[in-house]
Structures are given as C-alpha cells and as structure tokens.
C-alpha cells in the first residue's frame, strides 16, 4: 500500500508525511509532487470523518487527523501501481486524470463551489450536494487565499463564528462571489432543494418578499381575469363536446367536485370534468397513477390534454385559484405529506393554480417522492413568480395540451 500526500499547492506536505509515516512505518511510503493515479479517496475537511473511519478499518489503528485538513491523501493499491521507479503506468495516469480533475486544471465541465456552514450541518450539505455530480464541492475549506472569481456559498451563516463570517466578508472584498447556498442552487438548478430550507430562511431572506407585493398581486389578478375571458371562447365549445362524450361513455355526473386546500389553508371545491368511474373512490381516497384502471377512455384523453381542468376557470373567476400556481391538494394527502416533506404547507402562501411550474417540469406524480420533487418546483415558483414566468408556464401548458404530453 502506498500513501501519497499532496497539499493544495502541489508541494509535498512533509509534516503530514512524517505524521503518517510514524503510524504506518510498516508500509512502503513514497513522497511525490505529481500525483497521477487515484483509486482510493481524497481527504479534506469535508470527508475527514470518513477518512478516519476508513483508515481505522484498513490499518486497525486510530488516526489522529489534527494536522491534516489541508492535505490530500491518496491510497494506491501496490498491485495496480505499475513497476519500476514510476509509480504508475500510462493507463493508470489516464484513469486518474479522468476521474479526478483538480480545480487548477479547470475541473473539466465542472463548477467548483466552496460551501461554508456550521460543522453540524456538514452531513446535510454533503447529502444534498452528492446528487449534483456536475458541481465539485469543497466544504469548510478555510485554507483558500486566492479568492478572485471563486464561488463561495454559506448555509446557516447566522450560526457561524465571527472569524468565519469575517472570512466570507474578506472573500467578497477580494473578488469572490459570495451568496446563500439555496440562492445559488435555485439559479443553477431551476428548483429549490427543500432539504436546505429552515425557519431562518423563510423569516430573514428577501426571497419571499414577493408575497407582500400588492402591485404584483394586482397584476396577477388582472392577468388571471384576462386569460379566463380569452380561454372561455375555446373552453365553452370544447366543454360542451366533452360533456356529451362523458355522458355517452359512462353513467354519472359530467362534473366532479372535490375539496382541496387553497390559499392560507382554506378549503374550497375544485371543479373538474369527471375522468374516472363514478365509484372510483368507494374505498376511500387514494393516489392516482399514470395508468389508473379507474380512468375511463374519455378520461384518458381529457387528462392527457388537461381538458379536464377547464372547469377550473370558474374557480379562477371566483378568486379561489389562479391560472398559475402550485396545484391544490386534498387535505387527506397534505396531512401525510407534511410529515415527510419540509414546509409542505408553505405552498398555501399563494393561490393554487390550474397549471404550475411543477406540472410543466415534472411528469405525473403518484408517490411521496414525486410530491417532494413537485414541492421543489412549487417553492421555487413562489420565490421567483413574476409575469414573465407565468407567461412561460402558460405557453408550455398550451404546448402540453396541443401535443398531448400532459398528466
């Protein structure tokens, strides 16, 4: 087993090397400036505990890592390391170059992000960021000195020490772009990582100031009424044809009313064209799915094209709904979902919509995991809602209706 050590500047860290050599003197230890092969792990502050655990398992010794935060440790299998004076052959070198492109070489195709947070939130950050392989992440790396053009994000900064806050302020002064982690990810991903939401974010961030903007609310209401008027010219004749087809196919009412939760947790009756059998919920409320056997033949068509939602123009007219917003859900499901999804009821801070960002960005949902994803888009919409976004969502919805790609 070889143990190779390199600090962030590419120079062998002798003090760290001596410390490790003391622990592992029964192994062949080599020092090198050029690291060409990666097969084990990269050690830094963000995975310090993991490395200590692996080393303890591998060498049956407890490792004290106090002197190591700024070093990289690479464990190389001797059998794969090649022969002669060179540690590695050409193939191994290529494997390293592809698997671990460092920041100084441009990190081919990757965004490099430095994240700073209180230590007890490191696990949460690592869990969330592990889903984004296109972002190279460094957590709580306070060894950085060249800040120009670097991207730094902070999470729960109100709980950081004064020295850590000064570090971020200094980084800003020296050319780094510093912003809240959630804001960066919003812009990068187009949705909100709800696992990173916390009470302080809702209370202190300006992101939700749009909710108290009366001008925006007035414009949104005017646009809603305008669209109701315009769509009525199409909705009325299409609705008459749909009603006839529903009556011809199966017994029961044309319209289907269901209690949903809307603005400020107030329940109302949402109106839809009936797309299921009349006895669809004789056994109680249940998730609908993409190939639900309860859906009628006509129902499949009107659900796919979203014609079944047209009667909700009446809900918009009554100011119970908006054209665009989070889809209203049933209280029965909300009670379950809010136990699994952070701040799920916050979607009720705005009026529900006939269509929404989640509906045009995410396919049909029939599980808690699907609800999580839709909630990510709903929270993003609540923070960034504006006329241009509403218009884009409506145009995408029209595309969905015309090409039958709806849910």
pLDDT tens string 39-55: 333 334 444 444 444 44
170 with 78, same domain?
Answer: no
Query: How much is the pLDDT for 216?
Result: 87
| pLDDT score for 109 | 56
* Position 345 in a domain: yes
Does residue 61 share a domain with residue 185? Answer: no
DSSP state, 407? -
* Same-domain pairing of 107 and 95: no
Same domain, 30 and 58: yes
Number of domain units in the chain: 3
Is there a single domain that holds both residue 380 and residue 254? yes
Q: Which pLDDT belongs to residue 64?
A: 40
Same domain as 161, residue 226: no
Q: Is residue 200 part of a domain?
A: no
Listed residues 127, 157, 189: the one ending a domain: 189
In contact, 151 and 114? CB cutoff 8 Å: yes
Under the phi-then-psi rule, with left for phi > 0, alpha for psi from -120 to 50, and beta for the rest, what region is 109?
left
Q: Which helix (H) or strand (E) holds 154?
A: strand 151-154
| Same domain as 328, residue 183 | no
- pLDDT, residue 93, reads 34
pLDDT of residue 97: 35
Q: Determine the pLDDT at residue 311.
A: 96
Same domain membership, residue 272 and residue 175: no
Residue 329 φ/ψ, nearest 5 degrees: -120, 165
Rounded average pLDDT per 10-residue block, the chain, 407 residues: 39 42 38 30 41 40 38 39 34 34 44 94 95 94 92 94 94 94 94 90 72 88 95 94 92 92 96 83 63 82 88 96 96 93 93 94 82 95 92 88 60
Domain-embedded: residue 202: no
Q: Which domain holds residue 241?
A: 211-403
Q: Is the pTM of this model over 0.75?
A: no
- 19 and 135 assigned to the same domain: no
Q: In this structure, are residues 28 and 80 in contact, taking their beta carbons and an 8 Å threshold? A: no
């Amino acid at each position: 087993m070889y143990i190779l050590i390199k600090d962030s500047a590419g120079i062998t860290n002798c003090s760290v090397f001596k410390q490790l050599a003391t622990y592992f003197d029964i192994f062949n230890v080599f020092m090198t400036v050029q690291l060409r092969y990666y097969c084990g792990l990269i050690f830094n502050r963000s995975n310090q505990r993991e490395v200590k655990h692996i080393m303890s398992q591998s060498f049956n010794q407890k490792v004290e890592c106090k002197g190591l935060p700024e070093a990289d440790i690479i464990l190389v299998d001797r059998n794969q390391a090649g022969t002669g004076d060179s540690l590695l052959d050409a193939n191994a070198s290529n494997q390293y170059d592809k698997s671990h492109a460092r920041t100084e070489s441009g990190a081919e195709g990757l965004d490099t992000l430095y994240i700073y947070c209180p230590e007890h939130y490191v696990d949460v950050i690592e869990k969330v960021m592990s889903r984004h392989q296109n972002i190279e992440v460094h957590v709580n790396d306070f060894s950085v000195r060249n800040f120009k053009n670097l991207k730094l994000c902070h999470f729960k900064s109100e709980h950081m020490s004064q020295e850590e806050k000064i570090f971020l302020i200094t980084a800003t002064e020296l050319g780094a772009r510093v912003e809240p982690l959630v804001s960066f990810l919003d812009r990068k991903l187009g949705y909100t990582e709800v696992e990173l939401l916390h009470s302080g974010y809702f209370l202190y961030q300006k992101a939700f100031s749009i909710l108290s903007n009366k001008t925006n609310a007035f414009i949104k209401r005017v646009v809603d009424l305008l669209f109701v008027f315009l769509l009525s010219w199409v909705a009325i004749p299409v609705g008459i044809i749909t009603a006839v087809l529903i009556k011809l196919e199966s017994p029961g009412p044309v319209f289907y009313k269901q209690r949903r939760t809307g603005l400020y947790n107030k329940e109302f009756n949402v109106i839809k064209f009936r797309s299921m059998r009349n006895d669809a919920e004789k056994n109680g409320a249940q998730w609908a799915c993409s190939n639900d056997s309860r859906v009628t033949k006509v129902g499949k068509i009107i659900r796919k094209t979203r014609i079944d939602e047209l009667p909700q123009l009446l809900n918009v007219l009554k100011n119970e709904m908006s054209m665009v917003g989070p889809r209203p859900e049933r209280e029965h499901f909300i009670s379950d979902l809010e136990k699994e999804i952070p701040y799920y009821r916050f979607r009720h801070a705005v009026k529900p919509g006939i269509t929404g960002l989640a509906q045009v960005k995410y396919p049909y949902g029939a599980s808690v995991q699907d609800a999580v994803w839709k909630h990510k888009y709903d929270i993003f919409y609540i923070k960034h809602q504006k006329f241009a976004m509403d218009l884009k969502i409506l145009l995408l919805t029209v595309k969905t209706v015309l090409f039958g790609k709806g849910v």
